[in-house]
Homo-oligomer: A and B are copies of this chain.
Amino acid sequence: MPQTPLQGGRYRTTEEAGISVSDAGEFGLIARIVARLQQGDNVVVGPGDDAAVLSAPDGRVVATTDLLVEGSHFRRDWSSAEDVGRKAAAQSLADIVAMGATPTAVVVGLAAPADLPLEWVDGLADGLRAECDVVGASVVGGDVVRSAVLTISVTALGDLGGRAPVTRGGAQPGDVVVVAGRLGFAAAGLALLLAGRPDDPLTHAHRRPVVPYAAGLRLAVAGATAMIDVSDGLAADLGHVAVLSGVRIELASDDLPLPAELVEAGLALGVDPLSWVAGGGEDHAFAATMPDASALRAVAMLADLPEPVPFQQVGRVVMGDAGVVFVDVTPSGPAGHDHFAL
């Protein structure tokens, strides 16, 4: 009977280890995934046909795609399959909300090694569905293929509900810069995992981001002139807004949120926690620019949320050379994540 090596030198039989995706075959695998999903009322044709059909009541559709590659974006020894599913969905759903749109559906590509346990695929499907449930979206289709490297693509679609899209190019001098959601938690969690401290509660922020979708949508409704989800780091992502809007964005390190748990982790690891707050991505907080009056409206609208979301002003938009500057101390550390940096 074939055997699978386990960590620590122990062996278990394939039977114990469960069956793999190659045992199920392409169509068995798809049927198994689809059985774990649920389709919303806006789905006209769900999984199982050449393509899905869903309603797009606004007459426009918002679309974004992201890839997650094992080793680069997640590690199976750090994250459960459900964690990976939630993270994969969150990454694309946050992009939809950053346009001011409500996510409606995702389609998912899975490139899997032949020996990937079927249970892992079950967990992935559950995680994708659970994250989509947070925003009322459905997993409406996908593709499964074999690859030596476990890779997940998620394309999310959304509906603008009659509003103008909130692009990166609309920031105006005089606007304030606000952030809804957490900054630096995922980066701190990753640093703790890399330092061999997988039991620190902060590591959950790396495994499974807590994306403030509802807050992001409220920023759009309150009158955001530009918005972006913080995936590469606050300074880097606001840099895109500054360049595309042709404005200068002034931040102050003193105004950045610095929660006690980040300070503690920074002390433990000998890292300036501000570098996580200013340079860490993957929390998918929403950074937006808006006039003062809109910011006041946003405060009121966010107070209505069932769970409180961190919200504060971190800077302002001024005229000047396009870019982001710190008016006090520039935080140390990486300026943002480049997927091809060596």
Which residues of A are in contact with B by a Cβ distance under 8 Å? 21-22, 24-27, 29, 44-45, 48-69, 71-73, 95-96, 98-99, 101, 105, 107-111, 114, 140-149, 151, 153, 155-158, 160, 165, 167-169, 227-229, 244, 338-342
Contacts of A148 in B (CB 8 A): 71, 148-149
Contact A107 B149 (CB under 8 A): no
Protomer copies: 2
Q: List 11 A-B contacts (CB under 8 A).
A: A49-B165, A50-B228, A51-B63, A52-B62, A65-B108, A65-B141, A67-B145, A69-B147, A109-B109, A114-B340, A145-B339
Contact A49 B168 (CB under 8 A): yes
With A111-B67, A165-B44 known as contacts, the answer to whether A61 contacts B50 (CB < 8 A) is no
Name A21's contact: one of B96, B105, B340 (CB within 8 Å).
B340
Contacts of A109 in B (CB 8 A): 65-67, 109, 153
In order of increasing CB-CB distance, the 6 nearest A-B pairs are: A51-B64, A153-B153, A50-B98, A155-B155, A56-B56, A65-B107
With A51-B101, A147-B151 known as contacts, the answer to whether A22 contacts B342 (CB < 8 A) is yes
Name A49's contact: one of B27, B108, B114, B167 (CB within 8 Å).
B167
Contact B22 A340 (CB under 8 A): yes
Closest chain B CB from A266 CB (angstroms): 27
Contacts of A244 in B (CB 8 A): 48-49
A51-B55 Cα distance, complex, nearest whole Å: 18
Name A53's contact: one of B24, B57, B62 (CB within 8 Å).
B62
Closest chain B CB from A145 CB (angstroms): 5
Name A50's contact: one of B53, B95, B142 (CB within 8 Å).
B95
A109-B91 Cα distance, complex, nearest whole Å: 14
With A21-B340, A147-B149 known as contacts, the answer to whether A56 contacts B53 (CB < 8 A) is no
With A165-B45, A165-B53 known as contacts, the answer to whether A340 contacts B25 (CB < 8 A) is yes
Name A26's contact: one of B169, B227, B339 (CB within 8 Å).
B339
Residue of B nearest to A64 (CB): B51
Contacts of A149 in B (CB 8 A): 111, 147-149, 151
Contacts of A107 in B (CB 8 A): 63-65, 155
Contact A64 B50 (CB under 8 A): yes
A61-B227 Cα distance, complex, nearest whole Å: 25
Name A158's contact: one of B27, B51, B67, B146 (CB within 8 Å).
B51
Contact B57 A95 (CB under 8 A): no
A195-B279 Cα distance, complex, nearest whole Å: 53
Closest chain B CB from A201 CB (angstroms): 28
Contacts of A342 in B (CB 8 A): 22, 114
Contact A144 B63 (CB under 8 A): no
A51-B101, A53-B101, A67-B153 given; 18 more Cβ-contact pairs under 8 Å: A22-B341, A22-B342, A25-B338, A27-B338, A45-B99, A50-B99, A50-B228, A51-B62, A51-B95, A53-B160, A56-B56, A65-B107, A67-B109, A107-B155, A111-B149, A144-B339, A146-B340, A148-B148
